[in-house]
Structure 1
Amino acid sequence: MKLVIISGRSGSGKSAALHALEDQGYYCVDNLPATMLSQLPEQLSEGANEPPRMAVSIDVRNVPGALEHFPRLLKKLRNQEIDCQVVFLDADSSCLMKRYSSTRRKHPLTNDKVSLIEAIDLETSLLGPVAAQADIRIDTSPLSVHEIHEQVRHKVIGDGTKSMTLLIQSFGFKHGMPVDADYVFDVRCLPNPYWDESIRPYTGQDKPVQEFLAAKPMVTEMFDDLKQFVEKWLPRFESGQRSYMTIAIGCTGGQHRSVYISERLGNWFSKRFDRVQVRHRELSK
């Protein structure tokens, strides 16, 4: 039996993730009390002609204290030889604030004494035991509903091929590190085009910045080292049945150096692997 447990802070896209799995034939249950985890698989397995595939959403709307016991409940399920996968979705707090403001929905933890921002921070603490058990983490801050569907489908289900999808993502450290990256590389030691006012308005996708960085031997050395590291280890992850892998490249603001290196890595690996994507987190905002 395959059981996917979806969790995350309110507004991070759990419903979209659940819908993505439902579209793929999973039996889905939203807002399941954590204490019922051990009972549900047995009930659904009765009379099934083939091992069922199930996805459940567990969030902060739960029985008081139940989330603290999540690690023990998960261990019990795995001891029953149930294939469990925990997917934790999240977004930065400012993004969650904007989503709640635009939808005008009430956060489950807000009341007369707890503001929205306080509720969002409190939820982080309450979901800590679940987040710590996550097999897959997805940062939905820059993603649309359709992109959440795509990432869940690729990371949880795959596409039926043996080829792993490689996502190379640039970001800015001053905006926070991505929570869903498998590898994070820091390129802030490279020469910064930001200090050249003539090319500051451009990004790593533009020719002036590309020419500036390409002329620096240190940048080429960094690219070669990253390329060799990924080339060495990526096939080993692929042979381990991984369907999705994210490599994050970070600089200070996520506009110049990380974008340039990500673009070069994307171009290089797209010639060697079937499924390569490049995304620039800060440029998409």
Structure 2
Amino acid sequence: MKLQIISGVSGSGKSIVLHFLEDQGYYCVDNLPVDLLPHFVENMDWNNPHIHGAVSIDVRNFSHELAHLPHILEQIKKMGVKYSIIFLDADDATLLKRFSETRRKHPLSDIPLTKAIQHERNLLTVITQRADIKIDTTNTNIYQLQHLINIYIANDRTTEMSLLFQSFGYKHGVPLDADFMFDVRCLPNPYWEPHLRSLTGQDKSVISYLENHKTVLQMKEHLIYFLQQWLVEFKKTNRSYLTVSIGCTGGQHRSVYLVEQLKIHFQPIHSHVICYHRDLI
């Protein structure tokens, strides 16, 4: 089975992910020193399909230990164990709010919190650069984060790249985890039609409204054409995931519709397509 390596900035939700994986039957270790990772791997029976492993590695490691990570990952690969790195982050304002609400100490608490957050990101660059999956938890609650992790691990049984289409609303903030981000706020907005306001881009009447506008169909065709051209190139880089984010004002109508349409188009021709509506109420 594949080893899940969980990392990220303090306050981004690493503990939530690790506890969720533990509930799913994973053998989990929090704050594992990087240098002990090969020993952890050696002691797991990776040929047993019922064995799952997950470790959390973060800034509580010493900086010189984090610097060893590229070499240690090569060791693990030579041992025949496949791994994925999931990196969590959130915007500074959200992290500050979370630390204020929980009254937790930041691991780098000897400097002001705002500087500690930035310094932590710099120290974790060696992990960020190698992350297979990056998740922005700024606007994600516990249940949404668990749902996302469940999607990822369910689709992490193959070496083929998984394609994630994500809708979002600009008024709730832009996602930090997008490889491609498209703004569709220029399209006609069903929100201004009173009978459509409470519906979503998944409802037939909203779909009908949007598809009666030529610009919406053109946008869909252009997105499909662009992605078809470049997905081939991204597959050649052996990426695990590619995240395409579509944003409208509230993340309820236009972006949801286009994400659903992209899913419909790409599912028959791409074996691993994931659909996620970040701000859908």
TM-score (norm 1): 0.74
Aligned residues of 2:27 and 2:54 also touching (Cα < 8 A): yes
Find the counterpart in structure 2 of residue 39 from structure 1.
Answer: 39
Which sits farther off after the overlay, 89-98 or 241-250? 241-250
Aligned residues of 1:262 and 1:278 also touching (Cα < 8 A): no
SS in structure 2 of the partner of residue 28 of structure 1: strand
Aligned residues of 2:28 and 2:53 also touching (Cα < 8 A): yes
Q: 1:131 to 1:245 in 2, by over 3 A?
A: closer
Q: 1:120 aligns with which of 106, 110, 117?
A: 117
CA RMSD in angstroms, aligned pairs only: 4.1
Q: 1:198 to 1:268 in 2, by over 3 A?
A: closer
Give the drift of 1:205: 5.3
Distance 2:74 2:12 in 1: 25
Q: 2:146 aligns with which of 144, 149, 156?
A: 149
SS in structure 2 of the partner of residue 65 of structure 1: helix
Find the counterpart in structure 2 of residue 172 from structure 1.
Answer: 170
SS in structure 1 of the partner of residue 38 of structure 2: coil
Q: 1:81 to 1:73 in 2, by over 3 A?
A: same
Give the drift of 1:157: 3.2
Distance 2:157 2:65 in 1: 36
Q: 1:203 to 1:75 in 2, by over 3 A?
A: farther
Distance 2:165 2:152 in 1: 11
- Number of residue-to-residue matches in the alignment: 265
Aligned residues of 1:223 and 1:261 also touching (Cα < 8 A): no
Distance 2:89 2:231 in 1: 26
1:55 is matched by which residue type in structure 2?
A
TM-score (norm 2): 0.75
1:170-206 deviation line (CA, Å, top 9, x unaligned): 2439944x23234322446x3687xxx999xx89959
SS in structure 1 of the partner of residue 21 of structure 2: helix
Structure 1 residues 2-81: aligned runs within 5 Å: 2-45=2-45, 50=48, 52-81=51-80
Q: 1:262 aligns with which of 255, 270, 274?
A: 255
Distance 2:155 2:127 in 1: 23
Give the drift of 1:146: 1.7
Distance 2:245 2:135 in 1: 13
SS in structure 2 of the partner of residue 37 of structure 1: helix
Q: Structure 1 unaligned segments of length 5 or more: list them.
A: none
